Amino acid sequence: MSKLPLRSIEAFVVTARTLSLAKAAVILNLTVPAVSRRIQLLERDLGTLLFQRLPRGLSLTDAGEKYFAALGPSWEIVCNATEAARVTARRRSIKVSVMPTFAANWLVPRLIRFHARHAQTEIELETSSDVVDLEARPDLDCAIRLGRGPWNGLHTQRLLAVDAYPVASPEYLANKRPLRAPTDLQNHTLIGSHHQPDFCPEWFRGAAVADSGQRNYRNFDNLQLVYEAAAAKLGIAIGLDPVVRPYLASGRLVRVGQTDVRLSRSFHLVRRLPDRTSGGALQIFRDWLFREASASGSAGPVAIS
């Protein structure tokens, strides 16, 4: 049996359904000439015309009608079986939406432990500073969000509480007057992210510092850039524990004072409803994630949906 021209057969089936080369090209993500070429190759292979080219669109020839009637249901079976196989294979992989700073500073350094225990399960990370709509993204299995929660239509579990405290580079502090009280921070340049503009005001409120309205701010796109800017001696940032810890461990940043404020926002694991984490790769990832959170100082999972 000669090799089946599967790409040409696919082009024929899609074109036979739409009776339009232009529509078939859109569905197949090809150009119109490419679709036409594949059909011509199939017609040459079969030794018969499958379509009549009309001034507007196409029509099937008698041979094309018979071929499509016999081939159409079989092609559906092939497509459905292929998609089912893809879904089965994907059950051993998890795609997670996560903010860049959390991915770089907390999640990625721990993944080596995940892979050591679950070598057959892959974790794919998609980073974004924006909140991704899981309902509009069926390719995403879950997301890790920083916020108050819960989010409508989603199953939400608190993963990590967030404590905030000022941080700066040792070199920056060496050239400044000693900061003896939280109010002293108002005399310095503060670094923040325009994606999360409330961290500085919330820390000042928690530290019982009245808002003088005289603060000098520098804003960056995400927390990773905020901490890099602080390490580059551009000012003082409000560090969020746990994602600022690697900077403290390396010595690039140090704490300024000892005033911790528990923020109203936390890191949460969110996923679509109904909750289908029983078994499978998502359950494996979820259980491991909360074990790591517990080991790093979190109180553990709290469902708030």
Mean pLDDT over each residue of the chain, to the nearest integer: 87
| 180 and 257 both lie in a single domain | yes
Highest averaged pLDDT of the listed ranges 97-106, 128-137, 146-155, 203-212: 97-106
pLDDT of residue 299: 45
Q: Residue for token digits 């800017």?
A: 229
pLDDT > 90: what percent of the chain?
54
Highest averaged pLDDT of the listed ranges 20-34, 101-115, 267-281: 101-115
Q: How confident is the model at residue 213 (pLDDT cuts 50, 70, 90)?
A: low
| 148 and 136 both lie in a single domain | yes
Q: Residue for token digits 């390396």?
A: 250
| Distance from C-alpha of 110 to C-alpha of 292, rounded to nearest angstrom | 8
Better pLDDT: 36 or 90: 36
pLDDT of residue 305: 43
- Flag whether 1 is in a domain: no
| 164 and 258 both lie in a single domain | yes
| 220 and 304 both lie in a single domain | yes
Packing angle of the helix pair 32-46, 21-28 (nearest 10 deg): 100
pLDDT > 70: what percent of the chain?
90
Q: Give the end of a domain, one of 55, 88, 121.
A: 88
Q: How confident is the model at residue 89 (pLDDT cuts 50, 70, 90)?
A: low
Total count of domains within the chain:
2
Q: Is the pLDDT of residue 228 over 60?
A: yes
| Distance from C-alpha of 242 to C-alpha of 108, rounded to nearest angstrom | 13
CATH number at residue 65: 1.10.10.10
Q: Is the pLDDT of residue 278 over 50?
A: no
pLDDT of residue 15: 93
CA 74 from centroid of its chain's CA atoms = 37
| Distance from C-alpha of 268 to C-alpha of 157, rounded to nearest angstrom | 5
| 104 and 162 both lie in a single domain | yes
Listed range (66-75, 137-146, 209-218) with the worst mean pLDDT: 209-218
Q: Is the pLDDT of residue 136 over 70?
A: yes
Q: Is the pLDDT of residue 19 over 60?
A: yes
What is the pLDDT averaged over residues 217-240? 92
Q: Is the pLDDT of residue 276 over 70?
A: no
What is the pLDDT averaged over residues 181-209? 86
What is the pLDDT averaged over residues 15-22? 91
Q: Residue for token digits 């924006």?
A: 130
Task: Determine the structural domain holding residue 41 and report its residue range.
Answer: 6-88
| 252 and 104 both lie in a single domain | yes
pTM, 2 dp: 0.66
pLDDT of residue 232: 96
Residues 96-125 have pLDDT tens digits of 999 999 999 999 999 999 999 998 888 999
Helices (H), ranges, 91-206: 100-102, 111-117, 170-174, 199-206
Q: Give the end of a domain, one of 46, 66, 88.
A: 88
What is the pLDDT averaged over residues 179-208? 86
- Flag whether 261 is in a domain: yes
Among 207, 176, 169, 171, CA closest to 191: 169
pLDDT of residue 275: 58
CATH number at residue 227: 3.40.190.290
pLDDT of residue 187: 83
